[in-house]
Amino acid sequence: MKSAQNTTQFCYFRTMASVLILFAHPVFEKSRVNKALIQKISNLEKVTFHDLYEAYPDFDIDVEREQELLLKHDIIVFHHPFYWYSTPPILKQWMDLVLEYGWAYGTKGTQLRNKKLFNAITAGGGFTAYQTEGHNRYTIKELLIPFDQTAFLCKMTYYPPFVVHNAHLLKPNEMEAFADDYLKIITGLRDGVFNEDDLVKADYMNNLIGKPYTL
Amino acid sequence: MEIKSFLFQAVVYLASAIIGVNIAKRLGLGVVLGYLLAGIVIGPFVLGFVGEEGKDLMHVAEFGVVMMLFVIGLELEPNLLWRMRKLILGLGALQVLITSLLIGSIAYSFGQTWQASIAIGSILALSSTAIVMQTLSEKSLLKTTAGKSAFAVLLAQDIAVIPLLALFPLIATTIPEMETGSLIHDFNGWQQTLIVLAAIAGIIVFGRYVIGPIFRWVSKTRQRELFMATALLMVFAIAELMVIVGLSPALGTFLAGVVLANSEYRHELESDIDPFKGLLLGLFFITVGATIDFKIIGSNIFTVISLVFGLMLLKAIVLFVLARFFGVKSDQKIIFAVSLSQMGEFAFVLFSFAGQYAIIDQALINLLISVVAISMALTPLVFLVNERVILPRFFTKEKQDRAADDIDEQHKVIIAGFGRYGNIVGRFLRANGVSATVLDNDSDRVDLLRKFGYKVYYGDASRFDLMKAAGAENAEIIIIAMDTPQQCLEMVSLVKKYFPHLKILSRAYDRNDSYDLMEAGVDHIYRETVDSSLRLGTDALKMLGFRAYKTHRAARTFLKHDEKSLLDLIKLRNDSSSYISVAKEKITELEDLILRDLKDEQILERDMGWDSKALRKAMAKEAND
């Protein structure tokens, strides 16, 4: 514990990056998995946890404030349940309004250049379901192509997703394990412990901390 | 006629008053005529319940007049008088003088004495405050130029009664018996004058410095009836003082009223004296009705009819001409002239007064009283004729004149009422580039809004002509945001009747008001407190740790549920509910509402799409298989 703290201190002066977690869950109060995940990462140094449904229950997103937040952070996380192979509507609303032409994309839209983006998702389906042969027919990575492309258009780097499969069936100890994984990934990204090559190539962020899903 | 017991008389008078006034009200004839009719019916010429003793009763009932003048005095706020000084002293005073002069000269040319001519002229120049104010407020005309001018003239006439009361004894040829009650007969002229002046000064000083402390002392007992007793005592005492010094009691109490108009007890005094005034005045009008001599009228029927129409026409013409000089415009002039064309209840008072002093011949008084009564009865009819026949013709001309410069400014939205509700709507629309035509009857607000470039019409929005001028025929939406539910409802019925193409969005005060509006056929109803209460509730839930989005949706769900139950409950609303006390009705309704809240499945089981319980079960089963 002590040594970890020292590393943190050390990295703070070197390469410590800031992380913005944009969390979107319409019924967070009913989600056990997300409660466990968020409990771990909501009070970390250089990590900003931003609960979109709490901030904008009426979907009236404050674009200026959101853009300021983006500018202040290096790594952006879309943290959400994987509803209908996508995000809950507020995150889409957020993308539509905040990622403005001329600001986030377009020839003059360079404000997000070189920032990193990835999705942290909880999915009801298992790893096998998200395969060509599975009943979802596509992999998570394939289904997330719109986000990959969004990052590309905004001149950001798109990282692989952190995924919690079978979210409905997890037992408390399993949830706790995923929460620890999430913490490791977020702090690892913040402290720059991962290799950039591995990051870009991996299918799941889970692989980087030695917890890959397998068939 | 045999002598009837006091109780029998009381029963006859009260019953006739209740029935008579009720019928008259339903016929739109006004309270005064109701009393008169009641008097006629119980009088010697119809049922004969009351006979000669009616005359004695009249003296008691005359005290109602004394009280009326006290209340009139109370209502004469110096501020109000000052603000309206131009209209009262100009328009009002001129109307009284010119009309008196004209009618007086006619009377003189018909062979009346100069004293009688003066009395007749001045008495018939007065209009009926009760009927005019009632009708104008019923028709929402009080705030218009016509209404304000009419009010000023009525005020001037009320004030004019005082000098008339003082004048009649001076021009009297015989001194009535009543006057012998005066205790100052033994003094000589200048002493008498001195005593009279001292009495008046006494009333003023008393009203200014003594009454306040007395009322404060009495009100400490917290006994309402004691306060009432004090108020009555004061009026009686002043009246008695006036009789002692040989002046009119009405004059004295009027003066006391004016002195007290600015005191803190004004409203309390008014509400205490008012029922006595009302009943005694009612009694007075009944006795007037009972003493009308139909034999005289019957034998002079053509004289009576021609007098009624001649006098009303003459009065209306004088008013119409005067209105031109006081900035009353177009259709307002006609409304103004027509509204004041009748003779008023003061005539009954002054005629009986003039009769006591034998200024006018009693037979003539009888004839003229019936003329006055008939003209009062005709007032609602005259208003109707004016509205249906005269104004429409007049108004079409008006519209043509105006259409030229207004047509390109027509707005699609009309906001009726720009008070604390309407102003938010209006500002919101304007912030989104939608200009609205505003109708409001607060002149200060109108001035301010005009400064900011709003298109504002001053006046009561529920007036047909104003709505027309505001472009109601070409508008699409009317937002009804007037201050009282009553006003909103009136507005709705006007719009439904004359501008059915307009979409109505109406503010509602509460549930009951919403029901009224729904029954009036309004589709878009906005209860003024619901949204704000729910927002407060939402914030309270948030402070208790509920998720913002959950509370937000809960509020939307609740609103939907509440509006649905509004629709359901209106079906249960029956007419007999007006007999249940309002409070009880409200509680029962609240009970219904709470029960519905508990039963509504939407509230309990919404957001099923997000609920993973069922899914979880199915998946667990699948995993086990």
Q: Are residues B507 and B431 in the same domain?
A: yes
Beta-carbon neighbour count of residue A108 at 10 Å? 9
Q: Are residues B297 and B387 in the same domain?
A: yes
Chain A residues with beta carbon closer than 8 angstroms to that of B620: 168-169
> At residue B229, does pLDDT exceed 80?
yes
Residue A167, amino acid: A
* Residue A115, in any domain of the structure: yes
Question: What is the 8-class DSSP label of residue B609?
Answer: G
* Residue B604, in any domain of the structure: yes
Residue A25 and residue A94: Cα distance in Å, rounded?
Answer: 13
Longest dimension (CA), chain A: 49
- Closest-CA residue to A131 (of A121, A122, A141, A118): A141
Residue identified by tokens 């499945």 is: B601
Residue of A nearest to B547 (CA): A54
* Residue A59, in any domain of the structure: yes
What is the tally of structural domains in chain B?
3
Q: Are residues B131 and B215 in the same domain?
A: yes
Residue A151 and residue A145: Cα distance in Å, rounded?
Answer: 10
Distance in Å, alpha carbon of A168 to nearest chain B alpha carbon? 5
* Token pair listed for A131: 């395969």
DSSP-derived pairing of the beta strands A157-158 and A116-122? parallel
- Closest-CA residue to B61 (of B273, B275, B284): B284
Band of the pLDDT at B141, cuts 50, 70, 90?
confident
Q: Are residues B455 and B324 in the same domain?
A: no
Q: What is the pLDDT of residue B160?
A: 85
Best mutation target, A23, A30, A52, to test chain B (most B CBs within 10 A): A30
* Residue B27, in any domain of the structure: no
User: Is the alpha carbon torsion for A149, A152, A154, A156 positive or negative?
Assistant: positive
Q: Containing domain of residue A185, as a range?
A: 18-209
Residues B242, B169: contact at Cβ < 8 Å? Answer: no
Please work out, in degrees rounded to the nearest 5, the angle formed at the alpha carbon of residue B597 by the alpha carbons of B538 and B534: 20
At residue B208, φ and ψ (nearest 5 deg) are: -70, -50
Residue B358 and residue B364: Cα distance in Å, rounded?
Answer: 11
Beta-carbon neighbour count of residue B491 at 10 Å? 26
* Residue A165, in any domain of the structure: yes
The region of weakest confidence among A3-7, B345-349, B490-494, B502-506 is A3-7
- Say whether A53 and B547 touch across the interface (CB within 8 A): yes
Residues A130, B580: contact at Cβ < 8 Å? Answer: no
Chain A residues with beta carbon closer than 8 angstroms to that of B610: 26-27, 30
Q: What is the pLDDT of residue B424?
A: 92
Residue B114, amino acid: W
* Residue B20, in any domain of the structure: no
Chain A residues with beta carbon closer than 8 angstroms to that of B615: 124, 168
Q: What whole-number percentage of chain B has pLDDT above 70?
A: 83
Residue of A nearest to B624 (CA): A169
- Where is pLDDT greater, at B364 or B616? B364
* Residue B205, in any domain of the structure: yes
Q: Are residues B586 and B467 in the same domain?
A: no
Q: What is the pLDDT of residue B363?
A: 82
- Say whether A168 and B552 touch across the interface (CB within 8 A): no
Chain A residues with beta carbon closer than 8 angstroms to that of B616: 168-169
* Residue A205, in any domain of the structure: yes
> At residue B405, does pLDDT exceed 50?
no
Residue B484 and residue B157: Cα distance in Å, rounded?
Answer: 31
Query: Residue A102 is inside which H or E element, if any?
Result: none
Q: What is the pLDDT of residue B625?
A: 62
* Residue B43, in any domain of the structure: no
- Domain endpoint, select from B357, B391, B425: B391
- Say whether B548 and A54 touch across the interface (CB within 8 A): yes
Band of the pLDDT at B347, cuts 50, 70, 90?
confident
Q: Containing domain of residue B433, as a range?
A: 410-528
Q: Are residues B161 and B270 in the same domain?
A: yes
Q: Are residues B423 and B553 in the same domain?
A: no
Question: What CATH number corresponds to the domain at position A188?
Answer: 3.40.50.360
Residue A23 and residue A54: Cα distance in Å, rounded?
Answer: 9
CA-CA distances (angstroms) from residue B193 to B170, B173, B189? 13, 20, 6
* Residue A49, in any domain of the structure: yes
Q: What's the mean pLDDT in B349-372? A: 84
* Token pair listed for B148: 């304000």
Q: Residues, chain B, total? A: 625
Distance in Å, alpha carbon of B605 to nearest chain A alpha carbon? 13
Q: Are residues B605 and B482 in the same domain?
A: no
- Say whether A29 and B611 touch across the interface (CB within 8 A): no
Q: What is the mean pLDDT of chain B?
A: 79
Residue A65 and residue B31: Cα distance in Å, rounded?
Answer: 67
> At residue B302, does pLDDT exceed 50?
yes
* Residue B424, in any domain of the structure: yes
What is the tally of structural domains in chain A?
1
Q: What is the pLDDT of residue A66?
A: 97
Q: Are residues B270 and B373 in the same domain?
A: yes
pLDDT digits (tens, 9 = 90+) for B9-26: 788 888 888 888 888 777
- Where is pLDDT greater, at A21 or B193? A21
- Say whether B547 and A28 touch across the interface (CB within 8 A): yes
Distance in Å, alpha carbon of A129 to nearest chain B alpha carbon? 13
Residues B573, B515: contact at Cβ < 8 Å? Answer: yes
> Quick one: three-class SS letters along B81-150?
HHHCHHHHHHHHHHHHHHHHHHHHHHHHHCCCCHHHHHHHHHHHHCCCHHHHHHHHHHCCCCCCHHHHHH
Q: What's the mean pLDDT in B465-487? A: 86
* Residue B61, in any domain of the structure: yes
Distance in Å, alpha carbon of A29 to nearest chain B alpha carbon? 7
DSSP-derived pairing of the beta strands B477-480 and B503-508? parallel
Q: What whole-number percentage of chain B has pLDDT above 90?
A: 15
Q: What is the pLDDT of residue B88?
A: 86
Residue of B nearest to A83 (CA): B610
Chain A residues with beta carbon closer than 8 angstroms to that of B619: 124, 166, 168-169
- Say whether A58 and B607 touch across the interface (CB within 8 A): no
Residue of A nearest to B542 (CA): A54
- Domain endpoint, select from B358, B391, B424: B391
Q: Are residues B199 and B343 in the same domain?
A: yes
Q: What is the pLDDT of residue B603?
A: 59
Residue A4 and residue A24: Cα distance in Å, rounded?
Answer: 30
Residue A140 and residue B139: Cα distance in Å, rounded?
Answer: 73
* Residue B362, in any domain of the structure: yes
Best mutation target, A53, A62, A93, to test chain B (most B CBs within 10 A): A53
Q: Residues, chain A, total? A: 215
* Residue A175, in any domain of the structure: yes
Q: Are residues B128 and B251 in the same domain?
A: yes
Residue of A nearest to B610 (CA): A27
Q: What is the pLDDT of residue B404?
A: 31
ipTM given for this complex: 0.79
- Where is pLDDT greater, at B39 or A35? A35
Residue B474 and residue B495: Cα distance in Å, rounded?
Answer: 13
- Say whether B552 and A26 touch across the interface (CB within 8 A): no
- Say whether B619 and A58 touch across the interface (CB within 8 A): no
Residues of A with CB under 8 A from a CB of B: 26-30, 53-55, 57-58, 124, 166, 168-169
pLDDT digits (tens, 9 = 90+) for B564-601: 878 877 776 655 454 445 556 666 666 777 776 666 66
Residues A148, A107: contact at Cβ < 8 Å? Answer: no
Q: What's the mean pLDDT in B59-67? A: 74
Residues of B with CB under 8 A from a CB of A: 546-553, 607, 610-612, 615-616, 619-620, 623
- Say whether A168 and B548 touch across the interface (CB within 8 A): no
* Residue A114, in any domain of the structure: yes
Residues B337, B153: contact at Cβ < 8 Å? Answer: no
From the first residue on, what is the mean pLDDT of each consecutive set of 10 residues in chain A (215 residues)?
43 73 94 94 94 94 96 97 96 96 94 96 94 94 97 96 94 95 96 91 94 89
Q: What is the pLDDT of residue B249?
A: 78
Band of the pLDDT at B63, cuts 50, 70, 90?
confident
pLDDT digits (tens, 9 = 90+) for B514-567: 888 998 999 899 999 899 999 999 999 999 998 998 889 888 888 888 888 788
Best mutation target, B535, B549, B624, to test chain A (most A CBs within 10 A): B549
Distance in Å, alpha carbon of B479 to nearest chain A alpha carbon? 26
Q: What is the pLDDT of residue B455?
A: 78
Strand order in the sheet with B413-416: B455-458, B436-440, B413-416, B477-480, B503-508, B524-527
- Where is pLDDT greater, at B27 or B151? B151
Q: What is the pLDDT of residue B51?
A: 62
Residues B361, B148: contact at Cβ < 8 Å? Answer: no
Q: Are residues B556 and B583 in the same domain?
A: yes
Residue of A nearest to B607 (CA): A27
* Residue A5, in any domain of the structure: no
Residues B547, A29: contact at Cβ < 8 Å? Answer: yes
Residue B62 and residue B355: Cα distance in Å, rounded?
Answer: 13
pLDDT digits (tens, 9 = 90+) for A34-54: 999 999 998 999 999 999 999
